[in-house]
Structure 1
Amino acid sequence: MVTLSATEASNSRISSDLPAGLVAVFVGATSGIGEYALKEFAKQAKRPKIYFVGRSQDAANRITGELKDLNRTGQYTFIKSDVSLLKNVDTVCEQILAKETTINLLFQTQGTMRSERTSEGLAMFYVLPVTSRILFTLNLLPTLQKANSLKRVVSVFAGGFEGPFSDKDWADYVGKNPMKARPHVASMITMAHNAMARQAPDVTFIHNYPGGVKTNFGADLAAWTIPLRWLFSLISPIFLKYISSEECGKRQLYGATSARFPPAKGEATGVFLADDIHVARGTDGQAGSGSYTINFDGENASPKVYEHLAKAKADGAEERLWAHILGEIKGITGKTIRELCPLYGHTDVVPMNIDDRQLLLWAPENGQKDVMRLLLDNDTKVHAEDRESFQRPLSWTARNGHIVVVNLLLDQNANVDAMDSSGQTPLHQAAVRGYTAIIKLLLENNVIMDINDSSSRTPLTLAVIEGHEVVVKLLLEKKANMDIKDIANRTPLNWAVLKGHMDIIRLLLRKKGISWKEIQMRMGRPERLTIRTSTNASYF
């Protein structure tokens, strides 16, 4: 636990460790946790420039006066908006970007318990903590990346409480399963942060749980909920430890500025750490990896949460979520490919001097799965060909191990047997790198297994050379030809012996109907097999 005294000490150094004129955007800051954090930031920063967004002009007038009392040197701008509407999010961001070239902090607390749908068709208690926050982040991310000293995105919800989620029903699961909403939404926020952190590794992303804090959250619900909210406030101290609004503001500011939470890359680490404070673990379990899920006191989540997030990433759920979010944004705002592409990091991440045909080749090579989805959604042809290597999108994707994009391209009937300038097909590309899952997908799509490349090597030969035993087994199960010789007059078995891949030798011999016991009888000790056949194994 980071103690309150350590938190206060770090916050007191903001004016000396960080430059004057920090630009911060607080969304949902006209009450509750956002307001507490906003005031603490204004109090500690030197000549801050703050934009705060909310729905209540009366609350904003009160807060503006209080901010000026806390720090007369600051600039405070209120933007009134209902940010449950994504088009309003775009409008707010346009207003801010018209005035600012850099932003240091994006701090978001917008949320509600109201379940009704907005005019854009999304439930309010889903869109505010999820899509609204992500769109704010995407819109402002290039400007955040241009900042110095501090580049940070903070989302306050339920960090550390990530758990079971439904990737079949991202948006509506909350309404159908209200008792399971918190782990579902918490997982979505953290996984989205992870996706953005990979695109912008020089920015810190934090999802935190604020602890027990008394706010007016839920005050916008119907009158019949008043007795229920009163009952909750009465019994909640039994199972929930409350902290004061002052402590909440201080702890939120610590998370927003401390070097305990550095980005994965770059020097914008924040306020220097005291000797007894260490860098926190990121969501991948590694210290300082850029995306964090933390408790109210700045401590790491439990090991179970890290396991949960690792499994979600390995299963492709993180990528499916990101595709869902981008599709949601595109469907509502009408953003074009060219408008969305720059949102994945620096504005020059996507080469803007290339057409969609070239972009379709660039995206899989560079791991831009979201760009691929946008292109395919807009009917860009999947058979675009690189003029030099003749590689097509499926080849690039198989080569780089992007299984989600492979699925996308196969759904669009991409040619599974198209050859590049070296005569290699997507199966060659996956086999030589040992991408088992991609190979399974290609095999399910009736790929031709025994095509020779320019060196007369089949996918099986390449897998044997590289020692990918599982791939070799898969290809053999699909009856790949074991006797094709390459340009060096070697079969897969010749290569296995030459490379000393004993387990693969056993697999190949078993397929030839030769038992290991028989080999021992022929050769003596099996470990001598490589030595005695290193120059010529053709008699098998």
Structure 2
Amino acid sequence: MVSLTAVQTHNATLKSLSSGLVAVFVGGTSGIGLYTAREFVRNTKAPHIYLIGRNQVEATRIIDELHELNPSSKLNFIKSDVSLLRNVDEVCKEIKEKENKVNLLFMTVGYLTLKGRDETEEGLDRKFSLHYYARMRFAQNLTPLLNSAANDMGPNARLARVVSVLDPQLGLKLVPNFSDLSLKNSFSLKNCGIHASAMNNFALEHLGNMHSNISFIHAFPSGVNTGAARGMGQVWLNVLKVATVLLKPFMVDPTESGERHLFASTAPRFAPKAKGDGMDELATGSDGKSGSGAYFVSWNGEVFGESKKMESMRNNGAREKIWEHTEEVFRKICKGKDKY
């Protein structure tokens, strides 16, 4: 476990970077996205933050709070339902028109539900889209700006990172249905969890190999009060409130969660593949190799590393199959303007 003191000491060093770091928080108006954005603003000089979400009222309140925390910060809210991939493209287009680099893409977007398959107008399940497809579309669209940040010769040169907060563990233990990766015919909440986990794992590993100047992290949040259950109805909200009180001793404090996720988003130990040579204390990557550019990081700063199940899937072409499927979905929906 990385001590909280070590985390805070590292985070304080971010002020030594040059001003104007650009960070995009997808799902940044609540929960871990908000907690991490708050710490990013607190610990950097004149950052430029993009918050992506649907709640304009809450975003306005958050922007006021963050600007008070750091008056030199520049804050933008983009209102969008990013369960639709074509909306993701519009958001990324807006960011590209305003920025020439992005240092951090931090994604927590998603929600809890007890409903079955809830298909969007694009033919994807809404929850699955938020937990996987939308995140990978953001990553794909913004890699040019992330590469630009990675090639910056100034003191920000090493900060180009993509973080998807979900759960890498299921995908280290369980095998998705490769004959129905989109879960069109075999959707269940359990299968959605398995697929989102495994597909995040392999897609981020693929992107880490394709873009060796950028780090890609799949982070496990542990128990944090995020507000992700707000759409489940009042009865279940009341149940969860009671459970939260009972489980409080085992949950991570929101401020600590933000501090630890900022550490995962910026610590040199999670270096990109091309920049790890000669660095001390590099973390073990998703493929079991030190500094491989893709990392599965637990809430406490330690890595999960490789698993035999994932190695077996990788040897059977899982990474290629998942990314080929992902690109097929993107082509049909985003290029062909079709329904998947």
Question: Would you call these one fold, judging by a TM-score over 0.5?
Answer: yes
What letter is aligned with 1:212? Answer: G
What letter is aligned with 1:254? Answer: F
Which of 256, 259, 264 aligns to 1:250? It is 259
Q: Secondary structure at the match of 2:38?
A: helix
Distance 1:104 1:258 in 2: 13
| Structure 2: 5+ residue stretches without partners | none
Look up the match of 2:199.
188
1:167 maps onto 2:178 in alignment: yes
Per-residue Cα deviation, 1:141-180 (whole angstroms, up to 9, x for no partner): 0110011321100000013342312212222279733235
**Runs of 4+ in structure 1 displaced over 6 angstroms?**
none
Distance 2:180 2:243 in 1: 29
Look up the match of 1:8.
8
Q: Secondary structure at the match of 1:118?
A: coil
Tell me how many residue pairs correspond in the alignment.
Answer: 325
Q: Do the aligned partners of residues 286 and 199 (structure 1) sit closer, same or farther apart at CA in structure 2, a change above 3 Å counting?
A: same
Q: Do the aligned partners of residues 47 and 208 (structure 1) sit closer, same or farther apart at CA in structure 2, a change above 3 Å counting?
A: same
Larger CA deviation: 54-63 vs 183-192: 183-192
Query: 2:41 touches 2:47 (CA, 8 Å); kept in 1?
Result: yes
Look up the match of 1:241.
250
Look up the match of 2:314.
313
| Structure 1: 5+ residue stretches without partners | 337-540
Q: Do the aligned partners of residues 230 and 176 (structure 1) sit closer, same or farther apart at CA in structure 2, a change above 3 Å counting?
A: farther
Distance 1:175 1:77 in 2: 39
1:281 maps onto 2:284 in alignment: yes
Look up the match of 2:327.
326
Q: Percent identity?
A: 35
5 Å-filtered alignment, 1:370-519, equals: none
Q: Secondary structure at the match of 2:98?
A: coil
CA-based RMSD: 2.2
Q: Secondary structure at the match of 1:205?
A: strand
What letter is aligned with 2:331? Answer: K
Q: Secondary structure at the match of 2:162?
A: strand
Look up the match of 1:198.
209
Per-residue Cα deviation, 1:450-506 (whole angstroms, up to 9, x for no partner): xxxxxxxxxxxxxxxxxxxxxxxxxxxxxxxxxxxxxxxxxxxxxxxxxxxxxxxxx
Look up the match of 1:125.
127
Query: 1:160 touches 1:295 (CA, 8 Å); kept in 2?
Result: no
Displacement, 1:222? 3.7
Structure of greater Rg? 1
Displacement, 1:267? 7.4
What letter is aligned with 2:38? Answer: K
Query: 2:276 touches 2:291 (CA, 8 Å); kept in 1?
Result: no
Distance 2:126 2:42 in 1: 32
Distance 1:218 1:54 in 2: 16
Q: Do the aligned partners of residues 58 and 142 (structure 1) sit closer, same or farther apart at CA in structure 2, a change above 3 Å counting?
A: same
Displacement, 1:117? 1.6
Displacement, 1:300? 1.4
TM-score, reference length from structure 2: 0.90
Look up the match of 1:62.
61
Distance 2:54 2:144 in 1: 26
Look up the match of 2:302.
299
Distance 1:64 1:263 in 2: 31
Look up the match of 1:26.
25
Per-residue Cα deviation, 1:89-111 (whole angstroms, up to 9, x for no partner): 00000000001111111000001
Displacement, 1:317? 1.4
1:91 maps onto 2:90 in alignment: yes
Q: Do the aligned partners of residues 310 and 178 (structure 1) sit closer, same or farther apart at CA in structure 2, a change above 3 Å counting?
A: same
5 Å-filtered alignment, 1:36-75, equals: 36-75=35-74
Displacement, 1:260? 1.2
TM-score, reference length from structure 1: 0.57
Displacement, 1:129? 1.1
Look up the match of 2:269.
260
Distance 1:231 1:245 in 2: 18
